[in-house]
Amino acid sequence: MVFVSIAVVADLSYQMTGSEIIEFGPDGLTIRTRYFGWERVRHYSLDKCSELSWRPDDDHQGECALECKAGWKKTRFGKYLSEAQAWQVLSELQKYLPDVAQKMGMSLGSLKSPITQLGLNSR
């Protein structure tokens, strides 16, 4: 119970004071996370990144996160993005850095919503 309380407080304080900068470039993906003056930098070379997509955040309803496979493990970043913001990041990447998007394995399918509207009319 204490661990859950600490995790909730840490999560809320990150939402209020933390920041994350995501940089895509020809050399790879760099994620800079700042939290209470502490900075963590993660860099993944482009040749090890694949399967870039967005995923609904299981912990926070209505929010998404970006995800890619870096080597053998999956990494999530861009936590607390709305679905529209996640789509915008991927669209901008594909528009301005298409070679990087292609090398990261981003497909047009990752820009599609996982929800299918059938267009059925009720009477």
The b-or-e profile of 43-82 (16+ CB within 10 A means b, else e) is: ebebeebeebbbeebeeeeebbbbbbbbeeeebebbbebe
Is the sign of the CA dihedral 103, 108, 111, 113 positive or negative? negative
> Are the beta carbons of 55 and 64 closer than 8 angstroms?
yes
User: 2-110 in CATH: which number?
Assistant: 2.30.29
Q: How do the pLDDT tens digits run along the chain, 123 residues long?
A: 544 445 444 444 445 556 888 999 999 999 998 887 889 999 999 999 999 988 887 766 777 889 999 999 999 898 888 888 888 888 999 899 999 998 888 754 444 444 444 445 544
User: Which run of H or E residues covers position 63?
Assistant: none
Q: What is the pTM of this model?
A: 0.70
Rounded distance between C-alpha atoms, residue 32 and residue 46, angstroms: 16
